[in-house]
Chains A and B, each alone.
Chain A
């Protein structure tokens, strides 16, 4: 390896200069290339080794996009689907592409027997380029049409809202239109979050209890030839609505096929003069404020006459009545006097705190505003004492009764299932003692008063009947009644409130012609509790045990005011 001899010294000036220039150029070129290559090398390392944020991670790109079918599902408290969206195929034809209309119509009617061949033929032989054959095919129909392989027929994917429970939840859920917009009920109230289509919406309702309620209400409507009926079951500790139904109802798949009357939600939008169930509130507020005591009473021997009104008793005893007796026999005179003892302002105050003067906060758009007297005179105070002259919605009534049963702590009525570990803090509106006394009184009505038919063995039902005359033609109509019963069970440690209202029932032979709350609504509540109790996990109690007797004992002062005698009721 001998080094090559350098060429030196033999070149003259110009040649040397040229060589110098050439070297310099080579150097510049080399440097440029070096820069370019190192840039490429740097970029290569950057791309291959250094990870940038915009690069998709392996785990991210490996995910299948979560499947969504438009509107989110609605489920009950146990996860049973109440409403869901399905992608369905809709069949349309382009008659210009149909080769033989007669044959196509004949084969198509074989695949879809419910379509008439004559009608199909006229559709398929028309000159238009688009004609609907049938919307929302079932997967089976879709398949059988595909199998026929008829040219000129096409499918369009369309989303459809399905309500697997049919009519069970029609008013509560409402419905969504063909364009996927909620038009009533929960579907309307939560339209935006349902359209966003993420998690299913969990309601507080229980499908099984809803079914029992729906069935018993329907039975009562047909048995008493009633105009309508409504009812609800509410958790007394949280005011969650477990079941809520209104009859007549409608098919949510085709809501426009039923009358507006059927689409009316009587449980939330309807307001009723409730009648004697309001005596629960009258008695509770009188006891709570100290205007009356359990051992006290009022003279109910004579009807009260105020101006042109006359307040008299339905189950008249015509004597002095103790507070428990007023409640048990549902005395209007006694209740009116109890309300007078508390005063107009006190009554309005308490009713307001129980939520009976403002619309319920329940999560449907159809919420009725209570009808409240204005101005609120003394005569109003007296009639409101027994539930006339004020109209509230059933859900308001149930919430207020739940408050009284729940040791006086009020929770707003809700249709939503609470999230885990989330316990709503209620607001105290009554003393705990009042609630305990009211429980005994409610039990007394079922064991010895007007609500005996609300008895459900083992479930210790307490409750109150109500029978209101409907207004119409400038006065009250004695033949048109709103008969109701509100029950609380088990009364020693309340868990559920059950309210049933039957509108315009007619008495029959079995009820000896009566159509009052005790004869019409109380048996419905009894059957409902008997059937739903096991589903709700309420353990039956031995009603005859000494412990229960002691817990529910009430001292009923005897007739004469001056005398000291007491009768002890042991029902």
Chain B
């Protein structure tokens, strides 16, 4: 009787001890993961910071103007091209769209 009781307690202690170490190691690996992820996040943030600075540099108005002049057929807008929304006349009747012809599509 006494021997069995002792055996039970010893087993229980061993089991709990085993479980405890399992949890401990698990926590340790998770903590390592966390530390690594945090370091990665910080590195990414630094990357973002550098990229943001580069983006600002690439968006310098002078550079955009030069690129636009080289690659686009855009010119500065004139005053006639700008209208307030409420000055645009409403379409009174809705006509079906005319079929595209060669001329219209040109």
Contact = CB atoms under 8 A, between A and B. Distances in A.
Contact of B37 (A64, A80, A531): A64
B34 A84 contact: no
Interface stretch (B10-18, B45-53, B92-100): B45-53
Interface residues of A, number: 29
Interface stretch (A128-136, A159-167, A308-316, A467-475): A159-167
Interface string A523-545: 00000001100100001100000
B56 A84 contact: yes
Contacts of B39: 64
B29 to A, nearest CB: 15
Nearest to B38: A64
A50 to B, nearest CB: 19
A211 B61 contact: yes
Contacts of B52: 81, 84
Interface residues of B, number: 24
Nearest to A65: B42
Contact of B62 (A64, A211, A458, A539): A211
Interface in B50-84: 50, 52-53, 56-57, 59-62, 76-77, 79, 82-84
Interface in B9-45: 34, 37-39, 41-42, 45
Contact of B56 (A62, A64, A66, A165): A165
Contacts of B34: 61-62
A164 B62 contact: no
Q: Is the interface of B mostly helix, strand, loop or mixed?
A: helix
Contact of B42 (A64, A86, A168, A540): A64
Contacts of A162: 53, 57
Contact of A458 (B56, B60, B79): B79
A164 B38 contact: no
Most chain A CB neighbours (cut-off 10 Å) among B42, B56, B60: B56
Contact of B45 (A67, A164, A211, A458): A67
Contact of A67 (B49, B79, B83): B49
A64 B53 contact: no
Given A165-B60, A208-B61, A539-B84, A87 B46 contact: yes
B77 A534 contact: yes
Given A81-B52, A164-B57, A534-B77, A65 B38 contact: yes
Interface in A58-86: 61-67, 69, 80-81, 84, 86
A113 interface: no
A80 B59 contact: yes
Contacts of A531: 76
A457 B78 CA distance: 10
Nearest to A210: B61
A142 to B, nearest CB: 11
Interface in A30-79: 61-67, 69
B92 to A, nearest CB: 22
Interface of B: 34, 37-39, 41-42, 45-46, 49-50, 52-53, 56-57, 59-62, 76-77, 79, 82-84
Closest 6 pairs between A and B when the two form their complex, measured CB to CB: A67-B45, A164-B56, A211-B61, A64-B38, A64-B41, A81-B56
Given A66-B45, A84-B53, A164-B57, 4 more contacts: A69-B46, A86-B49, A87-B46, A539-B82
